[in-house]
Structure 1
């Protein structure tokens, strides 16, 4: 469905008149227009498009009742001002087990070489269906825990809700995306798990930790330039205490370019890893490689096994070449299907394989580009750009495997996932709830310099003088309380965004822009670790998780340009037709509950009715 355009009054009246005439039967109804690309005369679809369709992420669709309730509460619940003192800390994680079910990542079932491809895929799909059912049941029980209320009498009226209802949590439901993770973990000897330093615990859930429990893991804190050195160091100390024995490394994937006469006054950034971060990362990989060269304790205790034991990795690595990585072979792209296989009969593997794993938009592709100092793989602010796992040679001895980002199961609300950039903004229908959650953590009205919508109705200041205690209450200035809907309306008014026909503030576009700027880091924010008082920070407690920066005061032109770039990225994803994941043995009822991305040009659509809070991506699913 294309973007609706403003229509002249005469044309609109004529169209309504024709519609009534057709309804009465005075005029024959026009023949329905055939949509191109459908039916038996549809154009053939290329293998690349079919492959992209198979790897489209699939999430559960939010119920309409939840959307209506959250939209109403966003307009009625006042925001907590000043922001709660403890909001700067990462919220306490829910218990890892609800009832008898523990959230986990699906594991690939065992297979044999004599099995056919059909048999292997059938086993995988059977295990995956069972895992989906168990995970949905656990999440449903988790949601019910927040809905438990005291029983009411027969004549008692339920009280008005004072908080937003707990939303569901999103996780990847497409088996084809999980197969990418299975392949990467199978061929990798060392795993780099990338964590956004703004909320690291969100990106390292218990389900992922359990899945990688038998692997050599290095935790890499990304986006340190956004979170700041203080918070990144605090998170490093916290993670070292929580996960003893696991190496934690901080990285920055971009550096500022030198000012030129062409770009005077505007900061430009290029993919480049500072030398200090590069040495720390290579040193951590080198230590893990040395640990893999040592036989396990069980093997050391058995002399017969120790005599025939072979290390699972290549012994000799030119680490100096890894640090410099300036030769022509650095960054050579191999691609997923063309990954060279190690011969099991050889004395040792030909390469040291390092896998990069993490949730969407955590910075895997950006880190690869920073290691090579140039754009080798496609990186974007929009989550989910990487579809297939892809392999690049760091040096002739070391190869890196970039896994597509996938959302792991975790007991966290959907709003926190949206704020952290895990989910594409264009595919979120509960924007008022997300803005309410963000406004409880950040002073959005102060960040965006908004004026309360009710201020236009406030009468002029009463300059009359009154004796003490005799001033009428009606003439006293009232304190205006903000709601999430006030923030949306005020932002739309500031940008002069209105719907095409009703000429009302376009709150849907405003919600998209606000959440996109928060997720992409244009507004700096970061949590402190749990049980941290944040005393090392100069930011007042009432600022929440906001990190005020001087460069945040960008002009309207620069803000519009950045928002346009984000919309273009989402529009490129929308060009690929959305299809349900090709799991043939799923029931129809389950497939109806899924939506797999926005339709053609879905990110460019614009609602012209302020009462419609659902984005077009959900309407097309």
Structure 2
């Protein structure tokens, strides 16, 4: 073995300098690549109008994007402003269809952090009442696909789409300040996926989270689908197990009043808690148990979703769907699945925990291969741009992380689409056949433009929590509507022992970090960023419940009266149906009883006639021998009833009388 060489401090210093220089060079190369790929930098803007160089320095949205966006915005080497098809087609699917959001400036992040250190003021319950007028004061139109025909080349169609998309972005940023705009999708390829899904679908199904339905339902999409495309629209309230039944009823009534042409259904992958009556109470706002990651697809509301599709009454000559048979088949399947015992589920859970990490990775690869074989991934290059005459296509659209893929898996009864808690997991829209002429179309989650508060978007799951640059303002938004210190049972941190104490968002994060043991590696300070990140994940998962209500939920008795009226109507209809059933059963029972009585009377008459004939014959036979031997009238009749014994007794009496005569 060779002798180890001494490694002096000077050599160590030189090694670190070389490593640092190599790292800096790599970082500079990456930054240069980002500058070249920035779609809104002046030198990369395709088709820049004359005089645009003068206002480039005041462009409010220049260079504020996350890493890894598509290169399709980059102009070609000829300076024509059009992206070549070859360059656009060479992008990996994961990079090309990655969502792009604006990045916040360092000044904005610093100001938000300082604001989070100010004392909180808990808002009243009435602040949880939201409406479309308050959340969508100015409905921003989303980009729609330009008109095209089959005589146009692919390059020309894509160039028109890029030109339209750039004009749409310019109009938005010219009309609204960057600080007021919420996060929304800036990747044209993701919008293309939505366009394809809308074009091939007969029934558009918007999936919304029941905790924030107004936020997840874009009014611009409703007007475009119903009034311009003339398609049928269904809204599905998902995750109904997180709220009380009165909240679900109130939102259904509100949507019926606001959008009369809308069909409504409700759904959840997990069963609801029957003890949950008021989801605004402190006990209901915090769930200790975590929702299970493994689903057995015995979901609640699949029948309701299928019934909503049936109520649409879609008439299509090429595809006649037997919805009743499909619903009946689902009922049979659900009844069979419900017989699965809890012991089998527990055994599967224990077996999964005992698996080796290498076995889990191989199992995940097998699952991905199985999913690739069971679903059809439809890329944007496919030629189908109108609803197929042989199929009824149900397109599922909506924001990220609302449960579109989970709904498809529950309808199918097995895993056919990959799901994840992270928003933006689905990359391409894909079709799954439910029957021979009914197919489901799962599209990627897409954030529509709006002027919603950014913290609310993060809490509703539209933005990945791991990419949140400053989480304290989001915790502040949550703590102003939910009593976080009481909910998490927090104690004031030691640094606030002196003087009067008032909770702030930063203090909540610090106290929660101490409670959970989140400390920095070197100094041992409370890791407030990790604590804030954990709080946001609890809220996103529903373990800390932030549930909005429709107008008048707390301030009036409107929905309570509607619920009572609906229950009375249901009870009246049930009593009428029950009365009719009882009336029909009474009539049938009466008819059956009368028939039985007639048969019994006929049998009795037959028996009586037979008895009369037998009595008359017996009287004729006994008249000569027994009439003179009867003693005492009625008792003699009783004696006659003894049959053969009476004959013997009569013989004995005659013998006794003959024997006693000598004594007399």
Place the TM-score, normalised by the shorter chain, in its bin: 0.5 to 0.7
The structure 1 residue matched to 2:209, chosen from 173, 196, 201, is 196
**Residues 1:517 and 2:517 aligned together:** no
Per the TM alignment, residue 381 of structure 1 is displaced from its structure 2 partner at its CA by 1.3
Per the TM alignment, residue 78 of structure 1 is displaced from its structure 2 partner at its CA by 1.0
Contact 2:182 2:454 in 1 (8 A): yes
Structure 1 CA distance, aligned partners of 2:403 and 2:385?
Answer: 32
Per the TM alignment, residue 405 of structure 1 is displaced from its structure 2 partner at its CA by 0.3
Contact 1:352 1:398 in 2 (8 A): yes
The structure 1 residue matched to 2:22, chosen from 28, 32, 47, is 32
The structure 2 residue matched to 1:314, chosen from 313, 319, 334, is 319
- Which whole-Å deviations, capped at 9, do the CAs of 1:174-197 have from their partners, x for residues lacking one? 000000000000100001101110
CA change 1:502–1:92 in 2 (3 A) is farther
Counterpart secondary structure, 1:354? strand
Per the TM alignment, residue 71 of structure 1 is displaced from its structure 2 partner at its CA by 0.6
CA change 1:493–1:535 in 2 (3 A) is farther
- Which whole-Å deviations, capped at 9, do the CAs of 1:299-351 have from their partners, x for residues lacking one? xxxxxxxxxxxx47623435413552569xx994222249997798x9x8211
Structure 2 CA distance, aligned partners of 1:424 and 1:87?
Answer: 26
The structure 2 residue matched to 1:505, chosen from 522, 526, 532, is 526
> Per chain length, whose mean CA-contact separation is higher, i.e. which structure has more relative contact order (CA < 8 Å, sep 6+)?
1
**Structure 1 residues 107-116 or 314-323, which shifts more?**
314-323
Find the counterpart in structure 2 of residue 487 from structure 1: 508
Counterpart secondary structure, 1:442? coil
Counterpart secondary structure, 1:56? coil
Contact 1:193 1:219 in 2 (8 A): yes
The structure 1 residue matched to 2:185, chosen from 167, 172, 195, is 172
Q: Which runs of 5+ in 1 are unaligned?
A: 1-13, 40-44, 144-166, 258-264, 294-310, 459-477, 538-621
Structure 1 CA distance, aligned partners of 2:131 and 2:322?
Answer: 42
**Residues 1:57 and 2:99 aligned together:** yes
- Which whole-Å deviations, capped at 9, do the CAs of 1:592-614 have from their partners, x for residues lacking one? xxxxxxxxxxxxxxxxxxxxxxx
Per the TM alignment, residue 379 of structure 1 is displaced from its structure 2 partner at its CA by 1.3
Structure 2 CA distance, aligned partners of 1:313 and 1:495?
Answer: 60
Contact 1:104 1:211 in 2 (8 A): no
**Residues 1:126 and 2:139 aligned together:** no
The structure 2 residue matched to 1:79, chosen from 120, 142, 147, is 120
Find the counterpart in structure 1 of residue 304 from structure 2: 280
Contact 2:131 2:214 in 1 (8 A): no
Find the counterpart in structure 2 of residue 472 from structure 1: none
Structure 1 CA distance, aligned partners of 2:18 and 2:217?
Answer: 61
Per the TM alignment, residue 281 of structure 1 is displaced from its structure 2 partner at its CA by 1.5
- Equivalent positions of 1:25-424 (< 5 A) are 32=22, 50-75=92-117, 77-81=118-122, 83-90=123-130, 93-94=133-134, 103-140=140-177, 168-213=181-226, 214=229, 215-255=231-271, 268=292, 270-271=294-295, 277-288=301-312, 290=313, 292-293=314-315, 311=316, 314-317=319-322, 319-321=324-326, 323-324=328-329, 332-337=374-379, 349-424=389-464
Structure 2 CA distance, aligned partners of 1:255 and 1:29?
Answer: 55
Structure 1 CA distance, aligned partners of 2:556 and 2:98?
Answer: 43
Per the TM alignment, residue 241 of structure 1 is displaced from its structure 2 partner at its CA by 0.9
Structure 2 CA distance, aligned partners of 1:28 and 1:195?
Answer: 53
Structure 2 CA distance, aligned partners of 1:105 and 1:513?
Answer: 33
Greater helix share, 1 or 2?
Answer: 2
Structure 2 CA distance, aligned partners of 1:51 and 1:272?
Answer: 30
Structure 1 CA distance, aligned partners of 2:18 and 2:553?
Answer: 71
Structure 2 CA distance, aligned partners of 1:313 and 1:193?
Answer: 25
Find the counterpart in structure 2 of residue 435 from structure 1: 475
Q: Which runs of 5+ in 2 are unaligned?
A: 1-8, 31-86, 274-288, 335-370, 559-664
Contact 1:222 1:363 in 2 (8 A): yes
Structure 1 CA distance, aligned partners of 2:419 and 2:522?
Answer: 37
Contact 1:391 1:401 in 2 (8 A): yes
Find the counterpart in structure 2 of residue 146 from structure 1: none
CA change 1:29–1:136 in 2 (3 A) is closer
RMSD: 3.7
Per the TM alignment, residue 523 of structure 1 is displaced from its structure 2 partner at its CA by 2.0
Per the TM alignment, residue 455 of structure 1 is displaced from its structure 2 partner at its CA by 7.3
Contact 1:322 1:394 in 2 (8 A): no
CA change 1:272–1:105 in 2 (3 A) is farther
CA change 1:312–1:521 in 2 (3 A) is farther
- Which whole-Å deviations, capped at 9, do the CAs of 1:514-537 have from their partners, x for residues lacking one? 111101212233111122217889
Structure 1 CA distance, aligned partners of 2:475 and 2:119?
Answer: 13
Find the counterpart in structure 2 of residue 471 from structure 1: none
- Which whole-Å deviations, capped at 9, do the CAs of 1:574-601 have from their partners, x for residues lacking one? xxxxxxxxxxxxxxxxxxxxxxxxxxxx
CA change 1:338–1:255 in 2 (3 A) is farther
Structure 1 CA distance, aligned partners of 2:160 and 2:172?
Answer: 18
CA change 1:516–1:441 in 2 (3 A) is same
- Which whole-Å deviations, capped at 9, do the CAs of 1:354-394 have from their partners, x for residues lacking one? 00011000110111111122222111111111011111111
CA change 1:385–1:276 in 2 (3 A) is closer
Structure 2 CA distance, aligned partners of 1:530 and 1:283?
Answer: 28
CA change 1:341–1:123 in 2 (3 A) is closer
Greater Rg over alpha carbons, structure: 2
CA change 1:266–1:518 in 2 (3 A) is closer
Contact 2:120 2:505 in 1 (8 A): yes
Find the counterpart in structure 2 of residue 448 from structure 1: 488
Find the counterpart in structure 2 of residue 549 from structure 1: none
Contact 1:188 1:354 in 2 (8 A): yes
Contact 2:182 2:451 in 1 (8 A): yes
Counterpart secondary structure, 1:127? helix
Contact 2:461 2:540 in 1 (8 A): yes
Structure 2 CA distance, aligned partners of 1:338 and 1:412?
Answer: 30
| Alignment TM-score, normalising by the size of structure 2 | 0.59
| Alignment TM-score, normalising by the size of structure 1 | 0.63
